[in-house]
Every structure is written in structure tokens, then in C-alpha cells.
Amino acid sequence: MNTKSSIIKKVLYIIIPLTLVAVVVIKLKTNKGITESKVYQYDKQEAINVLALTIKTENINAEHSFSGSFEPFKETKVSAELQGKINTVMVDVGSVVKKGQTLIQLDNSLLKLQLQTIEVQIEGLEADVKRYTILANADAVQGVQLEKAELGLKAAKVQKVTLLEQINKSTIKSPFDGVVTAKLSEEGAFAAPGVPLLQITDISHLKFTINVSENEISKFKLHHNYNITLDAFSDLSFTGKLTMVGSKANMGSSFPIQFEVKNSADLKIKSGMFGKVQLSNQENEQGVLIPSSAIMGSESNPQVYLIKDNKATLHNITVSRKIKTKSVVTAGLKNGDVIVINGFINLFDGANVIVK
């Protein structure tokens, strides 16, 4: 009896785990079937609904805009031509100054004392010259004494002119009309030649600079006028005269184009503002325009989906430029070609398509 009971137990130990494993396997298969029945299985042979565009050449007469920035027509850092203590700074940042206006006064008291001394010497030498002239005419003194007195008088007068020039340079004046945009020293400081004291900026005229590719340089003519708008004041426009076309490309392989712009009376344009130059295409240029949203791939390798025999295949194209929301295609498409412009979800190279 004990033997039979032992055998039954052993059998149960084997059967029960196997039964549990079988139940789990059946349950997993059932769950998999239910899940697969609920998940959408995409059929790659099924045709995809798309919107399409039939290619045809057309006139490209759109306006082009090139972004750039404004910078001062003239800007300089004012420094002293001789050393000395700063007695007075007569302007501050934001002050509007005129050419020749006094900006800074250096201490020139010692120079003025030296000037008084030399003036006294000149008076004495002039008296000596008169006296020696009379005596020389009467042969009372040698002519060499008169010559020495005359040379001494000339030297004293040169010293006087030098001192007057130094006194004049102790008054630092504005080199041109402008605005004080930086104050780099204060009263009591020591000025020395070459050390900047103030910065003066002229924004009555400004330079507006853009950068264009080598293919676009020919669109600009030297000394011609162009319409320029400000990003900050979209309702304002200014006339810019083209003054410089760069002859050397910069690091971005583009060329600088510079315009001279006259500011408004209230100096609306500030240095560092951004703007755009508008360029109208006056020629009846023919080309292929497609929506930029239809282009796949990268800027270096643009592609479109070309539809042929109800199949969409990726096709390489060449894009020269963008005009607002469209791109100009110069190679890869011809009249009559049909491309996909919408319906890219699930679309792939070689997919069957239905044009809506």
C-alpha cells in the first residue's frame, strides 16, 4: 500500500507542473492572437492616397530679400594728443555732439605759464633787435650780434607757436557730428596719447551689409539704389546706395555687399539693428517652382517622390534657392512630371499610390 501511494505521489509531481506549463502556453497563445487581431497590420501592397502636382515651367518674378545688419558710418575712440590730468569731461553717454565741440579739457596751467615766460622773452628780444639794428647801422656793434638777436627772436616765436598748439590740443574736441556711445575716463584721471577717453559714433548715415552667394552677386549693381526695411520697424523703409561689392569670399563662402543708408531725422536706425534689402526680379525668368514641403532628404541631397505608373519613387533634384514657401528646381524635373506634395504618412520608396 505504501508503495502504491508513493508511486501516485511521484506521478502527481510530474503531471501537475506539466499541466500548469500547458495552461500558461495556451493562455499566451490566446493572448497573442487577441493582440494581433487588435493591432493594425499595414499592407505594403495597399495603395496610399496622396496629393500630387504636375510639373510645368513658369515665370519666376518674385521678390528676393537678403538679411543684413546696420553699423555706424563712422565710429572712433577719442584720445588725447598729449598727456595731462583731466580737468573736465563735458559730455556723457548719449550726448549728441557736433564737429569741433569741446568734449574734454585737460589741465594746461603749466603750459600757460610757459607761454607767459616766452612772451616776456620775445619782448626782450624784440627790444634787443631794435637796439642792435640802430647800433649796427652806426657801426657801433658788430653785425653778428644783431644776427644772434634776430635768430633768438625767431626761436622764441617758434616756441610760442609750439606752446599755443599744445594749449589748443589740451582741449579735446569732437572730430565729427555724432553721439557719445562710450565714456572711458572721468575727471581727475590722467590722459596719455593713444589711451581712449570717449567713443563717438555717427549714425546719421549707416552702413548696411549683407552676404550673398557667388551666383547672386550679379543681381547687384554698384552705385544703384535699393529698398531696405528694418525688422524692428516693418512700416519704415529706406533707400540704400550700393557702395561696395566684396572681392573676396568670407568663411561661409559668401561675398559681402554694402550699402550706405541715410538715417531718419530722429535717428530711428541704431547700430546693430537687423534689416532686409528687397530685390525685385525684373526679368521673365523661366523655371520650375515646387512647394518646399514636398522636398525630402537634406539640403545637400534634396529629393522628391516622383509618381510613375501609380508608384512613388524617390528622385534626386537640384534646388537653386527658395522663394517664400517654394523652391526653385534647376535640375531633376521636367514638364509633365508628377510629384507628391502631400500624404507622406506611410509613404516609402516604391509604394503604390492613388492620386486624390
Give the Cα separation of 135 and 173 in Å (integer): 49
304-320 average pLDDT score: 91
The answer to whether residue 189 scores a pLDDT higher than 90 is yes
At the topology level of CATH, where does 49-62+284-355 sit? 2.40.420
Q: Give the neighbor-by-neighbor strand order of the sheet with 58-60.
A: 58-60, 285-291, 326-331, 318-323
* Higher per-residue confidence, 151 vs 36: 151
Least confident window among 7-11, 46-50, 256-260: 7-11
93-118 average pLDDT score: 93
102-123 average pLDDT score: 94
Look at residue 11 in the predicted model and tell me its pLDDT. 66
Look at residue 56 in the predicted model and tell me its pLDDT. 87
Give the Cα separation of 171 and 99 in Å (integer): 13
84-110 average pLDDT score: 93
CATH class of 203-279: mainly beta
The answer to whether residue 180 scores a pLDDT higher than 90 is yes
Full-model pTM: 0.55
Backbone CA torsion sign across 91, 92, 96, 97: positive
Length of the chain as a residue count:
356
Residue 2's pLDDT band (boundaries 50, 70, 90)? low
Least confident window among 3-7, 51-55, 124-128: 3-7
Give the Cα separation of 47 and 229 in Å (integer): 49
For residues 82 and 169, is the Cβ–Cβ distance under 8 A? Answer: yes
Residue 289: other Cβ atoms inside 10 A: 18
**208, burial (CB in 10 Å: exposed 0-12, middle 13-18, buried 19+):** buried
